[in-house]
């Protein structure tokens, strides 16, 4: 009988014990593979963050940060100046709009809460929207997808408007405004590409168009789908596609082309903000300084597009380290299990080993038999463990990221601005997308841990390597067994 056949047969000699060993190995191997998958997924996300958001700078009007900001609006000429700065690879201008439901706006006006000649002002006013964007309030047939709730009503109630009689009256309870952004490219406010889930983009974002992209939450609230129509200031727009920003507030928004937004606001050539992409992270600081000098400190404020990126990457780095340590620990556990099992088998089979050596079997052959038997057990455990990892890796990665994000949030919230402000997608004052991480908080929740064949193969190869090491120790013990001593004891 060949060594391989004898090894396979020995592995199933005691089926109950084999089943128990395979089950324990499957748990250890499954955990190891899950941690390896999570580690690879987090590493890929860190690379994505550094490659995209990490190379983005945001240009706002000077003094335009926060809700009380001022300054002069940005212009197309300034965008051209920014594009000529060394190491800058792209400049995307945006124009921010705030949309109020036309029926509610009319009811509010009729009730006298808005005096003659007074702009409909929601939270944030007409200037100083998210990230310092200059916003213009328009009317729409759409209904906001997010209810005002206690915080929204409280914020709006504190912002009365002056009526025609000169008296100040509290604002009526109404739904939150809808964020509309005119953009010169298919990107969101952090410079990331919009994730279009249905339909298509807007084509040429530098040309005026009557097409729009709607957030999934906003479209669902209004019963709209690709091809449906709605109005902004009596102008009919067609839904070209739906996007998913990752949050309900982020999806209570729509995008149109930059010229369309400028036409709606009746401010041709005016920009609310500019998203500037730098060719590499190493050149970000130099480009930021050069950009500020080119535009002038009194004309524009240049900031890191994702100001809390370092915190977000640090959090992901912690997850990466934890997952790697857990992978090594689980791998070591699998090796220890193999070592103990094989030591036990060597002790049980002393007589068998003695007989084999007595008839001339070399130590190398006997040791190989035990190594192959261990690999058979590991192969069975790896099959089950890979199946476990394919189902568990996503949940484990999410749990690790969630726990670390919560810890980091608790650390940074005290340093940031309070809570979210009504009317902006998850927005806290001065934070592009709210929360302690800003826009990176959405990126943290979009880590996808998929058990790819390459990662699983690498993990199983590591498991087999540890198994061989664990099996070699008892295999070497066979050399110490002397046939004469075993036979004399029989």
Q: Are 342 and 475 in contact (CB under 8 A)?
A: yes
Residue 279 belongs to some domain of the structure: yes
Please state which of the ranges 158-172, 220-234, 263-277, 314-328 shows the lowest mean pLDDT. Answer: 158-172
The 10s digit of each residue's pLDDT in 131-172 is 445 556 789 999 988 776 666 566 555 554 444 445 555 445
Q: What is the pLDDT of residue 149?
A: 65
Q: What is the pLDDT of residue 449?
A: 57
Which stretch of DSSP H or E encloses residue 56? strand 56-61
Q: What is the pLDDT of residue 210?
A: 95
41 vs 307, more confident:
41
Q: Do 40 and 130 fall into the same domain?
A: no
367 vs 274, more confident:
274
What average pLDDT does the segment 394-413 reach? Answer: 58
115 vs 462, more confident:
462
Q: What is the pLDDT of residue 123?
A: 34
Q: Do 277 and 168 fall into the same domain?
A: yes
Question: pLDDT grade, residue 376 (50/70/90)?
Answer: confident
Domain boundary among 272, 298, 324: 298
**Beta-bridge partners for 279:** none
Q: Does residue 12 have a pLDDT over 80?
A: no
Residue 307 belongs to some domain of the structure: no
Distance separating alpha carbons of residues 38 and 447, to the nearest angstrom: 9
What average pLDDT does the segment 184-207 reach? Answer: 88
Q: Do 118 and 189 fall into the same domain?
A: yes
Q: Does residue 441 have a pLDDT over 70?
A: no
320 vs 312, more confident:
320
Residue 304 belongs to some domain of the structure: no
Q: Do 417 and 476 fall into the same domain?
A: yes
Please state which of the ranges 56-70, 136-150, 230-244 shows the lowest mean pLDDT. Answer: 56-70
Q: Does residue 190 have a pLDDT over 60?
A: yes
Question: pLDDT grade, residue 475 (50/70/90)?
Answer: low
Question: pLDDT grade, residue 417 (50/70/90)?
Answer: very low
Task: State the pairing for strand pair 235-243/211-215.
Answer: parallel
Cα distance between the two ends of the chain: 25
Q: What integer best gives the mean pLDDT of the chain?
A: 75
What average pLDDT does the segment 168-191 reach? Answer: 74
Using alpha carbons, select from 127, 284, 256, 105 the residue that is nearest to residue 184.
256
Q: What is the pLDDT of residue 93?
A: 93
Model's pTM, two decimal places? 0.55
Tokens standing for residue 284: 């970000």
221 vs 316, more confident:
221
Q: What is the pLDDT of residue 432?
A: 36
Q: Are 213 and 201 in contact (CB under 8 A)?
A: yes
Domain that holds residue 270: 63-298
Q: What is the pLDDT of residue 424?
A: 34
Q: Does residue 120 have a pLDDT over 50?
A: no
Q: Do 11 and 156 fall into the same domain?
A: no
Q: Do 137 and 39 fall into the same domain?
A: no
- Cα dist from 279 to 88, 180, 184, 294, 300, whole Å: 6, 29, 19, 18, 21
Helix axes 309-348, 15-51, angle to 10 degrees: 160
Number of domains the chain is built from? 2
* DSSP 8-state assignment for residue 74: E
Q: Do 8 and 100 fall into the same domain?
A: no
Q: What is the pLDDT of residue 221?
A: 92
220 vs 107, more confident:
220
In terms of C-beta distances under 8 Å and separation of at least 24 residues, what long-range contacts does 383-386 make, across chains too? 384/22, 384/23, 384/26, 384/29, 384/30, 385/25, 385/26, 385/27, 385/28, 385/29, 385/30, 385/31, 385/32, 385/33, 385/463, 386/29, 386/30, 386/33, 386/451, 386/456, 386/460
Q: Do 153 and 235 fall into the same domain?
A: yes
Q: Does residue 116 have a pLDDT over 50?
A: no
Q: Does residue 461 have a pLDDT over 70?
A: yes
Q: Do 170 and 231 fall into the same domain?
A: yes
Which stretch of DSSP H or E encloses residue 232? strand 229-232
Question: pLDDT grade, residue 293 (50/70/90)?
Answer: very high
Q: Do 133 and 240 fall into the same domain?
A: yes
Q: How far is C-alpha 173 from the chain's CA centre?
A: 34
Distance separating alpha carbons of residues 92 and 205, to the nearest angstrom: 10
């Amino acid at each position: 009988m060949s060594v391989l056949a004898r090894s396979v047969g020995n592995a199933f000699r005691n089926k109950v014990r084999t089943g128990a060993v395979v089950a324990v190995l499957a748990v250890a191997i499954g955990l190891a593979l899950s941690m390896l998958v999570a580690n690879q997924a987090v590493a890929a996300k860190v690379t994505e963050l550094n490659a995209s958001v990490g190379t983005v700078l945001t240009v706002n009007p000077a003094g335009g940060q926060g809700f009380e900001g001022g300054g002069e609006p940005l212009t197309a000429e300034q965008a051209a100046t920014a594009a000529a700065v060394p190491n800058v690879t792209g400049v995307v201008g945006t124009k921010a709009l705030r949309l109020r439901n036309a029926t509610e706006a009319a009811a509010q006006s009729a009730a006298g809460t808005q005096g003659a000649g007074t702009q409909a002002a929601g939270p944030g006013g007409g200037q100083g929207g998210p990230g310092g964007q200059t916003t213009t309030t328009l009317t729409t047939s759409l209904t906001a997808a997010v209810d005002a709730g206690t915080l929204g009503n409280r914020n709006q109630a504190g912002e009365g408007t002056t009526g025609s009689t000169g008296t100040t009256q509290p604002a009526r309870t109404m739904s939150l405004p809808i964020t509309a952004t005119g953009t010169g490219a298919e990107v969101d406010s952090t410079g990331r590409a919009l994730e279009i889930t249905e339909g298509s983009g807007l084509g040429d974002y530098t040309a005026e168009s009557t097409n729009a992209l709607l957030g999934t939450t906003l479209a669902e609230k209004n019963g709209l789908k690709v091809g449906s129509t709605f109005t902004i200031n009596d102008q009919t727009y067609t839904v070209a596609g739906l996007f998913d920003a990752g949050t309900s507030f982020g999806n209570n928004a729509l995008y149109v082309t930059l010229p369309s937004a400028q036409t709606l606001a009746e401010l041709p050539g005016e920009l609310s903000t500019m998203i500037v992409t730098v060719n590499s992270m190493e050149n970000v600081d130099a480009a930021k300084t050069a950009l500020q000098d080119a535009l002038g400190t009194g004309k524009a404020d240049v900031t890191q597009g994702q100001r809390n990126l370092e915190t977000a990457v640090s959090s992901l780095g912690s997850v990466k380290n934890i997952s790697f340590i857990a992978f090594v620990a689980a791998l070591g556990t699998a090796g220890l299990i193999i070592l103990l099992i094989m030591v036990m088998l060597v002790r049980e089979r002393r007589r068998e080993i003695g007989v084999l050596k007595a008839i001339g079997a070399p130590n190398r052959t006997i040791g190989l038999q035990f190594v192959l038997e261990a690999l058979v057990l590991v192969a069975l455990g790896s099959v089950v463990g890979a199946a476990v990892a394919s189902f568990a890796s996503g949940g484990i990665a999410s749990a690790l990221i969630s726990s670390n994000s919560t810890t980091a949030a608790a650390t940074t919230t005290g340093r940031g601005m309070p809570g979210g402000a009504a009317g902006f997608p998850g927005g806290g004052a001065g934070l592009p997308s709210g929360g302690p991480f800003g826009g990176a908080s959405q990126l943290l929740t979009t880590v996808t841990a998929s058990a790819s064949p390459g990662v699983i193969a690498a993990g199983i190869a590591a498991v087999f390597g540890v198994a061989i090491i664990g099996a070699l120790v008892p295999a070497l013990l066979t050399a110490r067994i002397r046939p004469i001593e075993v036979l004399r004891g029989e």
